Amino acid sequence: MDQNTLRQTSLNILSMVDQMPTLPDRFMQIQAILDDADSTLADLTEIIKTDHATSATLLKAANSSYYNPLGAPVSNLAYAISRLGRKETGDIALSMSLLYGFAIPASIGVIRKLWINVYAVAQIGRFITLQLKLKELDPETMFMACLLHDIGRVILSIRIDMSYFEKPFSALEGQALISAEVEAYGIDHAEVGQIILKAWGIPPDIHEIVAAHHQASPTLLAIKICQFADTFAHQHLHTPLSIEDVQIKLQESLLEQAYESFCETTYSGD
C-alpha cells in the first residue's frame, strides 16, 4: 500500500469520532477540581480515595524521605495529600488517571513506562516555564501539553494498530520514531495527537505544541521546551521507575539541572 493510501486509511479511521476513546472520567473530574479556585484538598481527597492505585502512590510519596524528613509516617490519605500539597497531589492523580484510564493493548510494563515518562516530561516542562517567567508562556498549559504530548501513541495502539507497542520501532525516539510511524501508517503520533485533542475540545495552545513536539529546529519557545523536556527525561530517567520515584528525583536535583541545561542549549548563541 502506498503512503497516500496508508495516510488516507488512517485519517478515515481517526475521523470516526463516535468510535474514538475519550479522556478518562477521573482525569476530567480531577482537572475540574484543580481548575476550581474554590475547591479544597477535601474535594481532591474525595475523588482520589475511590482509586486504590492512586491512593497507594500518594501514600508512598508522602512517606518518602523527601516529603517525610522527620520520619513521621502517615497512613491516612487525607494526611498524605495535605503533606504533598495540592499541586503535587494533582500532578500524580492526573497522571495515574491516564495510566489506568485507557484500555491500551500492551503489557502493564510498557504502559507504565509510557505514562511515567510523560509525567516526567510534564514536570520538567512546567518547571522550565516557571523559571523563565515569560508572560506569553503559561506553566499549567505547558504541563498539560507535555502530559499529553504522546497521546497519539496511545490512539495509534487503540485505533490504528493494536500491535503498535509490540513493533520494534515503538522503542525508538525522536525523528526515528516519526519516520517509522509514517512508513507504517502514513501518519505519525504527533499529528494523531493533535487530531484526537481537537476532537476532545482541547485548546489550540496545547494541541499545537503536541503536533509540533518532534518538529525539526522549532522556532517557537513552547515547542523547544517540550522537545527539550522529552529528551532530558529520556536521558536522565530512562530506567523503569514509579511515579513517586520520578517525583522525588526531579524535586531533589533534576529540575534545576534541566533548567540550567535548557538555558545553555537554547541561549548559548545569544
Q: Three-state secondary structure along 135-201?
A: CCCCHHHHHHHHHCCCHHHHHHHHHHCCCHHHCHHHHCCHHHHHHHHHHHHCCCHHHHHHHHHHHCC
Give 181-194 pLDDT, tens digit per residue. 999 999 999 999 99
* Mean pLDDT of the region 150-179: 94
Looking at residue 5, its pLDDT comes to 93
**Interval 58-88: pLDDT, tens:** 999 999 988 999 999 999 999 999 999 999 9
Spatial CB neighbours of 270, under 8 Å, sequence gap ≥ 6: none
Q: Which pLDDT score is estimated for 128?
A: 98
| Alpha helices, H only, the chain | 3-14, 25-35, 41-48, 52-62, 77-84, 86-101, 108-132, 139-147, 151-155, 174-185, 189-199, 204-211, 221-236, 243-249, 255-267
Domain assignments of the chain as residue spans, ordered by start: 1-13+106-264, 25-101
Q: Are 200 and 148 in contact (CB under 8 A)?
A: no
Reported confidence tier of residue 269, pLDDT bands at 50, 70, 90: low
CATH architecture of 1-13+106-264: Orthogonal Bundle (1.10)
* Average pLDDT for 135-144: 95
Q: Give long-range contacts, CB 8 A cutoff, 24+ apart: 1-9.
A: 3/182, 3/183, 3/186, 4/186, 5/186, 6/184, 6/185, 6/186, 6/187, 7/185, 7/186, 7/187, 8/186, 9/186
Q: Please state the pTM of the whole predicted model.
A: 0.93
Classify residue 253 by its DSSP letter: I
The answer on pLDDT for 270 being more than 60 is no
Mean pLDDT of the residues in the chain:
93
pLDDT of residue 252: 80
